[in-house]
Structure 1
């Protein structure tokens, strides 16, 4: 137990334990009893996986089931389940890293493959080994055709989450970590199709966008590749709750700072 607490504190060191505790408290207080919690993130940060780790640890301390859905390919779910059952030794982690998703050699890297995400998965394994009722699965879906139909990916991801949600234990909760566009409740003007979370609004969904007041993120731009991007400074209030019918998110909160994660193969970069 001491080793687990030490590991959690080390994961939170980049954002500060106090700030992580505040974020967890704000999310839990506002989400209240909602059983489907969607967290919209900027991929490829050091801080968000640590907040998710702290949030899940807080929820499972209540003694109720929790299913963590990650924006990873759905075919990785069996390997994730196997890893949760393992002792997490070097061989088991090496086998996970050797999976096609984690070992992909491509110029396109949107930030989802990182040491921080692997550490989050390992933290879930440790919770499982402590007897917590926790599952981890991927819900991203490959397109059925090339080029894909507009909105096909969001629709199939929503269908995967819906199928998982309907078999969730009655006292359980599902936490979904996804990109902040997939996490929107409504269709923005620049998108030609409804985002994933919009297709789940008939469920008991509460969505939260996690941003930062300053720092750097990893992002991809058409024609420019993927690389480090400086955030515009935000000095407004946090958190901000929204109850308007046309809201994108129920809650938005800003961490003090984002830093780029330790990516697994950074791919193409731009200035």
Structure 2
């Protein structure tokens, strides 16, 4: 009993360490008992969103077991598992550097320095909290002629639901592009996003609102740091649970003006 209490005390101390989490205003609104999926819809290629997502995961651990779902190809799962289990940070970095496919090779903002930093933080959290799960949920299957992007979205939703069923006691935190995170059909694209396929009452979907700054992405003939618009109050910060985008999102995550994060592998 004493050993168990000591272990619990050490676990609690790790979660309470000042360096463990950077508090995000308003985050307590996400931890309702009936919410299974907390979805963060981002513009890929910023420094701030992956860091804030790691802080959300860090805070969620204090509420119960957590599954982290990342918009990586499901074929990356064995590499992610090896990365998380590596004995040292250099070994983890080497495992990722050796992987020949995915966003760290074909750059779209999901293979950025900031994403690598986030993965390293998740790895550190998993060493403190062994029941933390990290899953890749983007489908590997190529698009079939005559089947629209909505079928890929359906596959994404199915993979998220499958991961949830495998760990039914876990709250799932999802980091995904903001198109996939919307809660209703996008009429202009005739697209049914992934989140629409999840049980509506179990989801909180947040939009990382543009507040100016830059993101690393590819546009036209060049890839690099490109400006983002300022469509939301640049002074706002934190989680604001209030319908946004005519009901496309349950709320927003306001991080302020962003900075572009370059590819981890140039």
For the structure 1 residues 264 and 122, does the alpha-carbon distance in structure 2 shift closer, same or farther, using more than 3 Å as the test?
A: closer
Partner of 1:140: 138
Shift of 1:110: 1.6
Q: Is the 8 A contact 1:88 1:122 kept in 2?
A: no
Alpha-carbon distance in 1 for matches of 2:250, 2:40: 11
CA deviations 1:135-158 (Å, max 9, x no partner) are 111111133445572122211111
Q: Is the 8 A contact 2:209 2:254 kept in 1?
A: yes
Shift of 1:191: 1.7
For the structure 1 residues 177 and 46, does the alpha-carbon distance in structure 2 shift closer, same or farther, using more than 3 Å as the test?
A: same
- Secondary structure (helix, strand or coil) at the match of 1:91 reads helix
Partner of 1:264: 264
For the structure 1 residues 218 and 66, does the alpha-carbon distance in structure 2 shift closer, same or farther, using more than 3 Å as the test?
A: same
Shift of 1:132: 4.2
Shift of 1:220: 4.0
Match of 1:182 among 180, 183, 188: 180
Partner of 1:125: 123
Q: Is the 8 A contact 1:216 1:229 kept in 2?
A: yes
- Secondary structure (helix, strand or coil) at the match of 1:185 reads coil
Partner of 1:13: none
Shift of 1:94: 0.6
Alpha-carbon distance in 1 for matches of 2:231, 2:143: 40
CA deviations 1:21-57 (Å, max 9, x no partner) are 2xx3323324533121110011011111110111111
What TM-score do the two structures reach when normalised by structure 1?
0.80
Alpha-carbon distance in 2 for matches of 1:103, 1:111: 7
Partner of 1:57: 58
Alpha-carbon distance in 1 for matches of 2:104, 2:116: 15
For the structure 1 residues 229 and 8, does the alpha-carbon distance in structure 2 shift closer, same or farther, using more than 3 Å as the test?
A: farther
Give the aligned length: 248
CA deviations 1:90-115 (Å, max 9, x no partner) are 23321222112358654xx3211112
Partner of 1:44: 45
Shift of 1:254: 2.0
Q: Is the 8 A contact 2:42 2:49 kept in 1?
A: yes
For the structure 1 residues 145 and 215, does the alpha-carbon distance in structure 2 shift closer, same or farther, using more than 3 Å as the test?
A: closer
Alpha-carbon distance in 2 for matches of 1:194, 1:67: 24
Partner of 1:269: none
Pairing 1:232–2:229 present: yes
For the structure 1 residues 198 and 103, does the alpha-carbon distance in structure 2 shift closer, same or farther, using more than 3 Å as the test?
A: closer
How much is the aligned-residue C-alpha RMSD, in angstroms?
Answer: 2.9
Runs of 5+ unmatched residues, structure 1: 10-16, 267-271
Alpha-carbon distance in 2 for matches of 1:27, 1:159: 27
Runs of 5+ unmatched residues, structure 2: 1-12
